[in-house]
């Protein structure tokens, strides 16, 4: 790190070149101690600001690190010098993940930094897990017993994610669509297929090749990146699948053919629709996570998204969406003709007869109307 800084700072470079070799301070032990000292200085400055502002809130979440150990992240939110601040205090390893254990960790962190949480803690922000949000024995209830002003707020971005998850899971076609995207990502990510994927992109498109996005169960709104990349690179994806389906490796060929046959007009329609829906919802999700957002702004943002969603079923929106679908199909060489699930069979006893009309006869809907249905 110092060598890199020395490439841009002549003072550091001269010190590294002229200093005695046993006093360079570049060993990992010395540098780790230096970073720890800097971290303590930053934390002390944050705590000073929190104490000056008096009232503060805490935002806590848990996650696994690369060693699969549960880590708790601590953030304090406070008003200081005319602005709202959200400052990261650090990680702590979670020994227990029950409500009592997490409560002890949070209170221990606040006491460690000398913060008067009993009188000055006015808010708690967590996800909606029962261990955190339980009204009787959850973390927020336990903390409120000792900090009576610490009201619990369920993360608005997490609420939005739950709405999207429930909405998608209630529609079978949507669930099948995202399952196919996950399967496509897994197939393209294989070492052999991935190299071919990069090569085909370089041949068909200008610029840096794009990677397919792994789907996240906890941040559904971010899936718009996956939909966007697939829609922009759909011709290349189809080309890769067609090449592999004709190769000698039977297992890869069969899987490629299976994915390829499902990428039809209905797939493109779902792709275009979810790219739009998830893009709009992701904009709200990012804004809800902004440090400067307040309750009034959050309400206005949610109302704005609701107005946008109400516009989706209108004729003008569907016409624009259908135009986008047809253009994508044309560029990718996908048929836009609706294929009925089964052909209408004539009754055996009518095989020798000329049937001019049947009870309940109706015209088959075209591709546009069938997709809309």
Same domain as 236, residue 103: no
Please report whether residue 26 resides in a domain: yes
Q: Is 196 exposed, middle or buried (0-12, 13-18, 19+ CB in 10 A)?
A: middle
Residue of higher predicted confidence among 199 and 6: 199
- Cβ neighbours, 10 Å, residue 159: 13
Same domain as 209, residue 269: yes
Residue 184: phi and psi, rounded to 5, are -65, -45
Please report whether residue 100 resides in a domain: yes
- Could you report the per-residue pLDDT of 238-293, keeping only the tens digit for each? 999 999 999 888 999 999 999 999 998 889 999 999 888 888 888 887 787 777 77
CATH number of domain containing 93: 3.30.420
CA distance 371 to 216: 27
3-state secondary structure of 361: coil
* Whether pLDDT at 359 is above 70: no
CB 99 within 8 A of CB 137: yes
The percentage of residues in the chain with a pLDDT greater than 70, rounded to a whole number, is: 88
CB 225 within 8 A of CB 213: yes
* Whether pLDDT at 361 is above 90: no
- Could you report the per-residue pLDDT of 3-58, keeping only the tens digit for each? 777 788 888 788 777 777 777 677 788 888 888 898 889 999 999 999 999 899 99
- Could you report the per-residue pLDDT of 301-327, keeping only the tens digit for each? 888 888 888 888 888 888 898 999 999
Q: Is 212 exposed, middle or buried (0-12, 13-18, 19+ CB in 10 A)?
A: buried
* Least confident among 165-174, 194-203, 262-271, 358-367: 358-367
CB 108 within 8 A of CB 87: no
* Whether pLDDT at 349 is above 90: no
Highest mean predicted confidence (pLDDT) among 27-36, 175-184, 222-231, 350-359 = 175-184
Please report whether residue 356 resides in a domain: no
The CA distances from residue 120 to 125, 304, 312, 345, in Å, are 15, 34, 45, 76
Taking alpha carbons only, the member of 261, 341, 270, 273 closest to residue 309 is 273
Question: Which pLDDT band holds residue 200 (cuts at 50, 70, 90)?
Answer: very high
Same domain as 165, residue 149: no
Whole-number average pLDDT of the chain: 83
- Could you report the per-residue pLDDT of 107-130, keeping only the tens digit for each? 999 999 999 999 999 999 888 778
Tell me how many domains the chain contains: 3
Same domain as 290, residue 173: yes
CB 88 within 8 A of CB 77: no
Same domain as 106, residue 16: no
Please report whether residue 347 resides in a domain: no
Residue of higher predicted confidence among 345 and 183: 183
Same domain as 213, residue 255: yes
Q: What is the pLDDT of residue 353?
A: 63
Q: What is the pLDDT of residue 45?
A: 93
Same domain as 111, residue 90: yes
**What is the residue range of 168's domain?**
161-332
Q: Give one word for 348, left, alpha or beta, with left for phi > 0 and alpha for psi -120 to 50.
A: alpha
Average of per-residue pLDDT across 331-354: 66
Same domain as 318, residue 263: yes
Q: What is the pLDDT of residue 365?
A: 56
The percentage of residues in the chain with a pLDDT greater than 90, rounded to a whole number, is: 27
Average of per-residue pLDDT across 183-208: 90
Same domain as 176, residue 302: yes
Please report whether residue 367 resides in a domain: no
Render 33-63 in DSSP notation, one character per residue.
Answer: HHHHHHHHHHHHHHHHHHHHH--EEEEEEEE
Same domain as 182, residue 327: yes
Q: What is the pLDDT of residue 218?
A: 66
* Least confident among 90-104, 109-123, 217-231: 217-231
Please report whether residue 364 resides in a domain: no
* Whether pLDDT at 160 is above 80: no
CA distance 328 to 234: 8
Same domain as 127, residue 18: no
Q: Is 197 exposed, middle or buried (0-12, 13-18, 19+ CB in 10 A)?
A: buried
Positive or negative, the CA dihedral 251, 257, 262, 268 is: positive
Q: What is the pLDDT of residue 364?
A: 52
Any residues with CB less than 8 A from the CB of 238 and at least 6 apart, and which? 260, 263, 332, 333, 334
């Amino acid at each position: 790190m110092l060598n890199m800084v020395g490439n841009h700072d002549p003072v550091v470079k001269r010190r590294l070149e002229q200093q005695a070799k046993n006093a360079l301070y570049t060993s990992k032990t010395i540098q780790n101690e230096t970073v720890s000292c800097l971290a303590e200085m930053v934390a002390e400055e944050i705590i000073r600001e929190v104490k000056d502002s008096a009232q503060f809130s805490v935002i806590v979440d848990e996650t696994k690190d690369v060693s699969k150990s549960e880590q708790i992240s601590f953030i304090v939110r406070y008003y200081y010098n005319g602005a709202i601040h959200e400052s990261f205090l650090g990680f702590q390893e979670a020994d227990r993940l029950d409500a009592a254990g997490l409560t002890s960790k949070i209170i221990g962190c606040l006491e460690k930094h000398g913060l008067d949480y009993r009188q000055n803690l006015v808010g708690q922000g967590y996800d909606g897990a029962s261990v955190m949000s339980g009204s009787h024995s959850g973390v927020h209830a336990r903390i409120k017993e000792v900090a009576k002003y610490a009201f619990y707020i369920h993360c608005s971005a997490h609420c939005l994610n739950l709405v999207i998850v429930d909405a998608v899971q209630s529609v079978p076609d949507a669930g099948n669509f995202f399952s196919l995207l996950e399967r496509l990502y897994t197939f393209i990510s294989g070492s052999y297929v991935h190299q071919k994927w990069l090569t085909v992109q370089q041949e068909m498109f200008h610029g840096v090749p794009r990677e397919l996005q792994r789907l996240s169960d906890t941040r559904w709104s971010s899936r718009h990146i996956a939909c966007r990349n697939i829609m922009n690179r759909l011709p290349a994806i189809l080309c890769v699948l067609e090449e592999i389906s004709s190769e000698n490796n039977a297992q890869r060929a069969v899987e490629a053919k299976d994915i390829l046959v499902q990428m039809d007009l209905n797939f493109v329609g779902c792709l275009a629709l979810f790219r739009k829906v998830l893009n709009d919802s992701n904009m709200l999700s990012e804004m809800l996570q902004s440090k400067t957002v307040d309750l009034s702004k959050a309400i206005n943002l949610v109302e704005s998204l609701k107005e946008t969603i109400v516009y989706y079923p209108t004729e003008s929106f569907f016409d624009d969406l259908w135009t986008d679908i047809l253009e994508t199909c044309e560029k990718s060489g996908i048929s836009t003709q609706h294929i009925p699930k089964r052909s209408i069979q004539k009754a055996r006893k009518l095989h020798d007869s000329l049937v001019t009309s049947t009870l309940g006869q109706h015209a088959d809907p075209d591709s546009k109307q069938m997709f809309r249905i």
